[in-house]
Amino acid sequence: MRGLLLALLALFALSAPLAAQDMLPPAPYAYKQLADPKQEAKAQALMETLRCLKCQSQSIADSDAPMAGDMRHQVRTRIAAGEDPEAIRQWLIERYGDYVSYTPQVKPITWPLFAAPLLFLALAAFLLRGRFRRRKGA
Amino acid sequence: MSEPVPSKRPGIAVWLPLGLFAAFLVLVVVGLYWPADREVSSAFIGKPLPAFDLPPASEDRPGLATTVFKQDGKPRLLNVFASWCFPCKVEAPQLAALAQQGVEIDGVAIRDRKEDVAGFLKQYGNPFKRIGKDDLSQVQLAIGSSGVPETFVIDGKGIIRYQHIGDIRQEDIPLILRKLAEAGQ
């Protein structure tokens, strides 16, 4: 038993981690907020709605992947330079497609997303109207 | 007050929940066994390479600027790699084979240290004409690349013509050569 345990330990000690990670420090604005709180708020709002491309179910605000850090750096420096957050989103969509943005854009393919709630409300109103009328008649 | 007695025989509607459940199961199985493609391809294909000018990542190769891709009208490969990236080591022989066939390959080293790049090139060969150092993944983001390694075919006018995601395997070489030939026309 002890031998087996030792053998297992040796195996773990020998297995070098395969995880690929770079040796560079994070980008300057990967973890550093902008000095101006208004600009930082804008940057934060945008970063929360941009997809990390390495870890695809996280936003770049949420991810510690180096690439997400570089994207945060890019977002923060551009906002500090006075760029509009939506322009930065468009810049990324131009390169990665709609996939990079968590905020759906109004487009021919996404109109049901925006129209469906209205349709459901209309349907609910129609059904409720029927109910109320019946109750009055009873 | 004679309401019609509702029919007691179950109609087709009674099977609806079971049917929906079966459809849901099928969806789950399909999702499990044939998961969606997780690769994010660049939406920048067909567009000109954005302007950049990267310092050299290696002592014996110059850095990389956009102007290179327009200088002689020849199509080239732009390889996005890193010394810390495991599949980049796997694709090294294929890049060497392409370079040997006369393909010009320029590299962009992502978040890399010069000494690490030097070690990587020493161990796995150096197929690159130039290597730019991209410490903030700026060029990577500017061309819509989402990982390493990725290889782009750039035509003689500096237009991105094709993107290969992941390491180039032996069997990918003919396709890469064909895309290069198409870009050269």
Region B109-120: mean pLDDT is 95
Q: Identify the H or E element spanning B106.
A: strand B105-110
Quote the pLDDT of residue B13.
Answer: 84
Q: For chain A (length 138 residues), average pLDDT per consecutive 10?
A: 65 52 90 96 97 90 94 97 96 94 88 92 92 66
Bigger pLDDT: A135 or B66?
B66
- Residue A11, pLDDT score: 57
Q: Is B138 on the interface with A (CB under 8 A)?
A: yes
pLDDT score for A21? 75
The alpha carbon of residue B34 and the mean position of all alpha carbons in its chain are separated, in whole angstroms, by 21
Looking at residue B71, its pLDDT comes to 86
CA A63 to chain B, closest CA, distance in angstroms equals: 15
Looking at the structure of chain B, the number of domains it has is 1
Q: Does the beta-carbon distance from A70 to B147 stay under 8 Å?
A: no
In a domain, B33, yes or no: no
Distance of CA B15 to the CA centre of its chain: 47
- Could you tell me the residue range of the domain that residue B101 belongs to? 53-184
Mean pLDDT to the nearest integer, B110-130: 96
Interface check for A65 against chain B (CB to CB < 8 A): the answer is no
- Please tell me the pTM assigned to this model: 0.81
B12, part of any domain: no
Tell me, yes or no, whether B175 lies in a domain: yes
What average pLDDT score do residues B33-57 get?
Answer: 91
Give, for A68, the enclosing helix (H) or strand (E): helix A66-80
pLDDT band at residue B39, thresholds of 50, 70 and 90?
Answer: confident
- What is each CA distance from B90 to A83, A111, A116, B170, in whole angstroms? 40, 44, 49, 10
Residue of A nearest to B45 (CA): A95
Give the ipTM: 0.83
Report the CATH number that the domain containing residue B127 is assigned in CATH.
Answer: 3.40.30.10
CB pairs < 8 Å spanning A and B: 68
pLDDT at residue A18, rounded to an integer: 46
For residue B44, being part of any structural domain is answered with no
